[in-house]
Structure 1
């Protein structure tokens, strides 16, 4: 099992209690969908190690208190804190209609309602509760917020991500290079 054929489910953020339980942060839209999770892959030193889940209790805001098989001491639990959690792609439920998983849109062509074809989705970042789609555009990386009013839909058949970018977003990324060229040499 490698990260290439898995998706990032979340992270182990801390221990819970004294019996070796851990707290998962499930970085997903609907954490309750994972209340019957039986196995998870934990990234340890670059390898994905399977762990069987004995008990999972979904809490508020994407947290879950979890008992993992063979993790029955504070020391074993503490050793896992900070580790990433993965699930195999084949375990994902098929999303209907225009819904999509972030890993599915990598390589899609971004098409704006006004500007037309822009570039290719390279990555999706999750930063402090804000998900951003990274697109290559005219030699620059452009970050597109995943808000519903911006990302309209994914056309899976044509491998296109249809967007309605806010006015001036592209110019912000393109003007960074030109701004540095317009600074006078004698500016202190």
Structure 2
């Protein structure tokens, strides 16, 4: 499985028992969605390796207590401590309305209600406190804050996001 075909679910955070059980921190709003998985991909030495789950249960809301089939003691569990966990993109729950996954909107047209087509979404910058749409219009890169009240509609059918940006925000890029 290639990393590009997967999404980051979380990481193996700590050991839970001397029998090799681990606690995985899940980077999700609803960890309960993932408590009955059969397997996960663990990033081990730069490769995604399938690990089969014998049993799992929620632990303190955002941790998943996991017993993997082939990990039966603390030494084996130590080898995967801190490793990232991935699942295939096909296992992401479908979102509706104006909710979306960042990878899902790459290639969508960004349309401003006032200015019309302002370019193509080429990425999302989520390295700062405010995530930004990275929009490309010819040679111009436009950064638009990903704020709920700027997003009028996510049109999956036409691969378009309709925005209502404040006057001057996008104009700054287009008129320079």
Pairwise mapping of residues 85-100 of structure 1 onto structure 2 (< 5 A)?
85-100=85-100
Partner of 1:181: none
Q: Which structure is higher in helix share?
A: 1
- Tell whether 2:106 aligns with 1:83: no
Deviations 1:84-104 (A, max 9, x none): 221112333444455433221
Give the structure-1-normalised TM-score: 0.72
Structure 1 spans left out of the alignment, 5+ residues: 179-188
Alignment-derived partner of residue 44 in structure 1: 44
Output one character per residue of 1:74-129: Cα deviation in whole Å (capped at 9) or x when no partner: 23223223322211123334444554332211111222233332232223355588
Q: How many residues align?
A: 173
Q: Against the structure 1 CA distance between its residues 40 and 167, is the aligned structure 2 distance closer, same or farther, given a 3 Å change threshold?
A: farther
C-alpha change, 1:5 and 1:68, in structure 2 (3 Å) is same
Contact 2:98–2:151 (8 Å) recurs in 1: no
**Over aligned residues, Cα RMSD in angstroms?**
3.0
CA distance in 2, matches of 1:150, 1:60: 35
Secondary structure in 2 matching 1:103:
helix
Which residue is 1:35 aligned to? 35
Q: 1:106 to 1:61 in 2, by over 3 A?
A: farther
Superposition deviation, residue 166 in structure 1: 5.1
- TM-score normalised according to structure 2 size: 0.76
1:159 alignment counterpart = 159
**Runs of at least 5 residues in structure 2 that lack an aligned partner in the other structure:** none
Does the 8 Å contact 1:110/1:119 carry over to 2?
A: yes
* Cross-structure match for 1:186: none
| Aligned partner of residue 72 in structure 1, secondary structure | coil
The secondary structure found in structure 2 opposite 1:149 is helix
